[in-house]
Amino acid sequence: MHPAPSIILFTTLSGLGFGLMIWMGLGFPGVTGWTAFAFAALACGLAGGGLVASTFHLRHPERALKAFSQWRSSWLSREGVLSVATLAAFAPYAAELWLYDMRLAGLGWLVAALALATVLATSMIYAQIRAVPRWHHWTTPALFVLHALAGGALLAAQTYVAALLLLALGGVQIYHWRKGDIRFREAGTTAETATGLGRMGRVRLLEPPHTGRNYLLREMVHVVGRRHAERLRLISLAAGCLLPAFLLSALPSGHLAAGIAVLLHLGGVLAGRWLFFAEAEHVVGLYYGRR
């Protein structure tokens, strides 16, 4: 699948932002006043920035409001509704922390639940797509939720929890990759089932329908850049999970160590998210003799 920068930025940044909101909603870190304001601004900036980035992916962003209408059936619509609901609940919660030094616990739990549901809805946009076997698996929501929880804990300065969650994230990430590598075969979709000609013999594309490229090939048969997949996996794992976890547990806690850990994590997650798209093979590639 085409790794569109707008989508990679959207899922990564908004995941971190909503992850931070989950922790803040639960009362971690227990800050008030201007410190709370700084944390809330960071969370809103990341979540809001991600959502804005996602609209760059739309060809008709002026109609984006219509996307709130189909929450009964569409995960993308649910994600939109939930993200706005989360922001709407988070704003008064954060304002109470900032202006009145007061934590409304009930509202906080609501914020945490909504933020978690938002991240889950984001992941289901991908996990629901059966035509991309690598994504169509429970590890996709697990990965997105752990990204949000671990990254959120990192931003919320929950050192030990963050280190543990980062290691868990690394484990799920490795499993997602390994499982992902055999998912296409497991799905059982081949050139033979795609054409129905398997009863006659082995099927191979002889002539493509067109000499040039088209939307389908650009969007769903993106094979460029898989060459460095192994190296990127290592980079993503090291920078996104292992190094930040090590920094958090080995170095004395402070803004510098946390800052480095956050930046490393962000870089690692971006690399991982790029792979999430670039490595995902859509079954339509079978009609074009490639995956």
Partner 1 sequence: MTSLPEKTERALGLVIDLDTCVGCHACVVACKGWNTEQYGAPLSDMDAYGAAPEGSFLNRIHTFEVTPDAGPVAVVHFPKSCLHCTDAPCVTVCPTGASYKRVEDGIVLVNESDCIGCGLCAWACPYGAREMDAAEGVMKKCTLCVDRIYNDNLPEEDRVPACVRTCPAGARHFGDLADPESAVSQLVAARDGMDLMPEQGTAPVNKYLPPRPKADQAPDGEIDVLAPLLEPVAEPGGFLGWLDRALGRL
Residues found near partner 1 in the complex (CB under 8 A): 1, 57-61, 63-64, 66-70, 72-77, 80, 125, 128-132, 187-189, 191, 193-197, 199-210, 212-216, 219-220, 282-284, 287-288
- Closest to partner 1 by CB, 181 or 219: 219
**Helix 105-127, helix 139-155: angle, nearest 10:** 140
CB of 12 to partner 1, least distance (A): 18
User: How far from chain centre, in Å, is Cα 128?
Assistant: 14
CB of 59 to partner 1, least distance (A): 3
Exposed e or buried b per residue across 4-42, where buried means at least 16 C-beta atoms within 10 angstroms of its C-beta: beebbbbbbbbbbbbbbbbbbbbebeebeeeebbebbeb
- Closest to partner 1 by CB, 38 or 64: 64
- Closest to partner 1 by CB, 102 or 131: 131
Spatial contact of 84 and 40, defined as CB atoms under 8 Å apart: no
CB of 122 to partner 1, least distance (A): 12
Tokens of 230: 């192994």
Ramachandran area for residue 147 (φ above 0: left; ψ -120 to 50: alpha; else beta): alpha
CB of 195 to partner 1, least distance (A): 6
User: Exposed, middle or buried: residue 202 (CB in 10 Å: 0-12, 13-18, 19+)?
Assistant: exposed
Cβ neighbours of 234 (radius 10 Å): 12
CB of 253 to partner 1, least distance (A): 42
